Amino acid sequence: MDRYLVFGHPVRHSKSPFIHTLFARQTQQELEYGLAEPAVDEFAQALRTFFDQGGKGCNVTVPFKEQAFTLVDRLSPRAKRAGAVNTIKLTDDGVLLGDNTDGAGLVADLKSHGVTLADSRILLLGAGGAARGALAPLLAELPSELVIANRTHTKAQQLAAEFCDLGPVTAQTYEQLAGPFDLVINSTSASLQGELPPLAPALIHTDIAIYDMMYGASDTAFITWAKQHGARQTMDGLGMLVEQAAEAFTVWRGIRPGTKQVLRELKRNLGVI
């Protein structure tokens, strides 16, 4: 049977096996999908061993995405732009192809929530790996403006400079931000520590869409905060998780699974509904 897995550390709580097993069942693909948690300095060896032993493809998550970028034979254009690889496929001619489906997953999830990206003013919080992966797919949707704000302003400036050939992207400090924005995407890891990015509450209004790439069984700190300040449309990163997986599954199997039912089952599994 064709073998796939996700590499991460820690990875025990990954939902990827659950998601891909449902995709396989739905599309009647015969495959198995597991977990691998190599020591941080043993990822390269573990990756090689997996493919030497007949693995067909894998996902890569924290903290290995940047390293995976350097280990594959060939990169897709979107992985090259993202500077990170979350999906690897062994092609029929034996080439390890590195791809990145995170940004496509974000955009697909935003669209499935009915968020309009064309001509919109987007505020992207954070300038780490998650922000980098999102930039090209967001700019491809032709927003009127995309502003990056980050605690360490120089990192936001560097990202804006790197992507300004793709669209109207600029960097501003949190203090400089002036609304109204149509959509705020939180790509920071602040919610992981229950912290908030230092965003002025005045930027939140009833018609704004709020997206937090993080997710949990209950609202993230950022979503709770945004709701308290009047945001009516809030979304967490669970949909993005399922959409990036669907995109990876399509890369591997050449068949696109449906995501709605799988997202519902995942929510039930997490106790969200």
Give me the residue whose beta carbon is nearest to ligand ATR: 128
Q: Return the number of the residue (126 or 239) whose C-beta is nearest ligand ATR.
A: 126
Shortest distance, position 220 Cβ to ligand ATR, whole Å = 13
Q: Return the number of the residue (33 or 187) whose C-beta is nearest ligand ATR.
A: 187
Shortest distance, position 185 Cβ to ligand ATR, whole Å = 12
Verify cis geometry, omega within 30 degrees of 0, for the bond prior to 10: yes
Q: What amino acid positions are annotated as catalytic residues? A: 65
Beta strands in the chain (DSSP E): 2-7, 31-36, 57-60, 74-75, 87-90, 96-99, 121-125, 145-149, 169-171, 183-186, 209-212, 233-236
Q: Return the number of the residue (34 or 216) whose C-beta is nearest ligand ATR.
A: 216
Shortest distance, position 178 Cβ to ligand ATR, whole Å = 19
Interface contacts to ligand ATR, rule CB under 6 A: 126-131, 150-152, 155, 187-190, 195, 197
Q: Which of 202, 199, 239 has its CA nearest to residue 221? A: 199
Q: Return the number of the residue (11 or 130) whose C-beta is nearest ligand ATR.
A: 130
Q: Which of 238, 180, 182 has its CA nearest to residue 210? A: 182
User: Which residues lie below 8 Å from residue 247, measured CB to CB, with a gap of 6+?
Assistant: 87, 101, 104, 105, 108
CA distance 53 to 69: 21
